[in-house]
Amino acid sequence: MLKFVIHIFNDFNRLGLQRTAAQLAFSSLFALVPLFALSLQVLLLLPVLSQYTDQVVTLIIERIIPEGLATWRFKIVEWLSGLRQISVLGIVIFAVSTLFFMSGLVNAINQIWEVPFSAVRVFRVWLSLLMVPLGLAVIVFLETFSQSVQWLNQLSGIQVSHNLKFWAGPLIGILSLWLIYSRIPAVKVDNRKSLVVAVITMLAMSALSQSLMQLVRLMPSLELMTGILSTLPLIMLWIYWLAIFLLLGALVLRHWQIGQLTPLNVLSFDQLIDLLCFLRRHREMSLNDAIALDINPKNWETISEFLVSNRLATNSEQQNMVLQTEGLQQPFSVCLPLICHRYLKESDPGYLVLQPLSQTSIEQLLGSLDVN
C-alpha cells in the first residue's frame, strides 16, 4: 500500500498535475456557470419538464455550493433567473467557453492515461454533462408524482423530497465524476473501478468542502471572505482543491487498472546510435519492432544520467554534433519520442534538451510511423 502511494505521489509530481489543477480552476470560473446555464436551456426547451426548472436550480445550488458561499448562491440564482431571455448569440458564446474548458479537462485526463487527445470525446462528455439537469428534472417529476399517489407515499414511510434533497448533491457529483473517469480517456476503462473511484473522490470532495467552510466559520479573520467581492480567493482555493482531487482520482484509477506511468527512461547515447544504425540496415522493420528486438530495457539510462556521466557529450550542442557527424540527426529526432514512451514534462530529466519534441504524440507515432 505504501509503495502504491509513493508511485501515485511520484507520478502526480512528474505529470505536473498541480499546475494543471490551477489552470482548470482558473478556466472553470469562466466555464462552469455557462455550462450550467446551457444545461438549463436544454431543460427549458422541453415543455413537460420546463416547469421544474426553478426546483432543479435550487436543488443544485443548495447541494453543491457550500454553505459558506451563500452570497454566491444568491447571485447565481439571480443570474440564472434571466436565462429565459438569453439570445442565440449568448448561447453560442456560452457553448464556446464551456467547450474550451472541457478541452483542457479532456487533455489533462488523457495525459494521465498516456493516450492522444480526442476532440470527439470532448463533445461527447460536454453533451453528457448538459443532460444532468434534465435527469434531475425527471427525478423531481417522479417525486411530485409519488406525492400525489397516497399509497406510494405511505409505502415509503418518509418524505421523498427529504431523501431527494439529501442525496441529490452526492448523486450529481458521483454521476459527473463517473462520466469524466469512464468516458474521457481514449481507452477502455473498467466501469466498476471508475464508479468506485468516483464514489471515493466524491466523499473526499465533500469532506474538503465541509472542512473549508468550517475553517471559515472558526476563524473570525476569514469572515471578511463572505462578501461577494472578497470571496473570489476562497472560490479559487475551493475549486483548485476540487481539481486536485479530480485529477488524483483519475491517476489512482489509471494505476488501479493498468499500473503506474511508464518511467521516462531513454536509451544511453551510444545505445541510441547503435539502434539507429540497426534501423538503417533493416529499413523494412518498424521502430517499435526494432526497439523490442535490439535493446535490453535493463540497460536503459535517463537523459540526466547520461549528461552527468559525460559519456559522449556534455551538452545538447555536442550531442547534436555527434549526430550530424554520423548522419543520424533526422532519425534521432524521429526515434527519441518513441523511446520516451510518453509526453515530456518540464519536471522531467532532459526536458530542456528534448524541448522541441515535448508535444509529440507518442501513441500516434507508435501506431503508424515506420522508418523507411
Query: For 93-147, how does the pLDDT look when each residue is reduced to its tens digit (9 = 90+)?
Result: 777 777 777 788 888 888 888 776 666 777 777 777 776 666 666 666 666 655 5
99 domain residue, yes or no? yes
Integer Cα distance of 84 and 97 in angstroms: 19
pLDDT at 262: 57
The alpha carbon dihedral of 301, 304, 307, 309 has a sign of negative
Amino acid at 47: P
Residues 194 and 289 grouped into a single domain: no
Q: Is 8 a residue whose pLDDT tops 60?
A: yes
Residues 127 and 147 grouped into a single domain: yes
Instruction: Please tell me which residue, 344 or 182, carries the higher pLDDT value.
Output: 182
Q: Once rounded to an integer, what is the mean pLDDT over residues 269-291?
A: 48
Q: Is 200 a residue whose pLDDT tops 90?
A: yes
The residue out of 198, 233, 258 marking a domain boundary is 258
Instruction: Please tell me which residue, 336 or 63, carries the higher pLDDT value.
Output: 63
pLDDT at 71: 57
Residues 159 and 213 grouped into a single domain: yes
Q: Once rounded to an integer, what is the mean pLDDT over residues 334-345?
A: 46
Residues 131 and 195 grouped into a single domain: yes
263 domain residue, yes or no? no
Which distant-in-sequence residues (6+ apart) come within 8 Å of 185 by Cβ? 109, 110, 112, 113, 115, 254
Residues 314 and 251 grouped into a single domain: no
264 domain residue, yes or no? no
Residues 145 and 200 grouped into a single domain: yes
Three-point CA angle 246, 256, 25, nearest 5°: 10
Residue 210: domain span: 2-258
Q: Is 242 a residue whose pLDDT tops 80?
A: yes
Closest by CA to 273, choosing from 228, 237, 313, 305, is 313
Residues 248 and 273 grouped into a single domain: no
Q: Once rounded to an integer, what is the mean pLDDT over residues 84-93?
A: 67
218 domain residue, yes or no? yes
246 domain residue, yes or no? yes
Q: Is 69 a residue whose pLDDT tops 60?
A: no
Q: Which three cell numbers stand for residue 300?
A: 536503459
Q: What is the pLDDT of residues 350-367, one digit of tens each?
A: 444 444 444 444 443 333
Per the structure, how many domains does the chain have? 2
Residues 115 and 18 grouped into a single domain: yes
In this predicted structure, which of 61-65, 210-214, 282-286 has the lowest mean pLDDT? Answer: 282-286
The residue out of 224, 258, 292 marking a domain boundary is 258
The residue out of 236, 258, 280 marking a domain boundary is 258
169 domain residue, yes or no? yes
Integer Cα distance of 294 and 338 in angstroms: 14
Residues 250 and 276 grouped into a single domain: no
Integer Cα distance of 288 and 302 in angstroms: 19
Residues 113 and 205 grouped into a single domain: yes
Residues 211 and 303 grouped into a single domain: no
Residues 100 and 199 grouped into a single domain: yes
Q: Is 347 a residue whose pLDDT tops 80?
A: no
Integer Cα distance of 104 and 126 in angstroms: 12
